[in-house]
A = this chain, B = another copy of it.
Amino acid sequence: MPRGFGHGGPWWHTRFRGAGFRITVPRQAILEVLSKTQKHLSAEDVYMAVHRICPTVGLTTVYRTLELLVDMGLVFKFDFGDGRARYELALGPKGERHHHHLVCTNCGRVIDYTEFIDDEIELLQQTEKGLSKKYNFDITHHLIQFYGLCDKCKGR
């Protein structure tokens, strides 16, 4: 378990204490799992991975913790259309990691992309401004996903 920098433990300890949440074994294990992958894990995926570190952690706790992390803004929750929610750490060790998704409608593969984000962001901010004004809406975030067939699935 990578402890590490500063003196108080991992970076998110401060967030937890600040919000009055306890730092528990299950929570540490779940965050460890999330921080060690680039994949978009389902609750069950997280559960199975956590199980290897700490077999006593229950699926219920995984769901609860993921919800907490989403509420805290530490984790993003996505729906790629396969009937289960997917989770992903919001910020990597290198800071923010905003990106959008490319989803294969055949095999379910999900690709993160960031290369066109800059242009998109610019347009999005314009659009958000226009929409906010017109509909008197406070926009907090957006979702952009492209659907289609990945290279492996397009051949047939």
Contact = CB atoms under 8 A, between A and B. Distances in A.
Interface of A: 79, 81, 102, 104-105, 111, 113, 115-116, 119-120, 123, 126-128, 130-132, 134-151, 154
Contacts of A102: 131, 135, 137, 139
Protomer copies: 2
The 10 A-B pairs of least Cβ separation, nearest first, read: A136-B151, A139-B148, A138-B149, A116-B127, A140-B148, A143-B145, A138-B148, A138-B154, A142-B146, A123-B123
B123 A120 contact: yes
B141 A113 contact: no
Contacts of A127: 116, 119-120, 146
Most buried by B among A105, A127, A147: A127
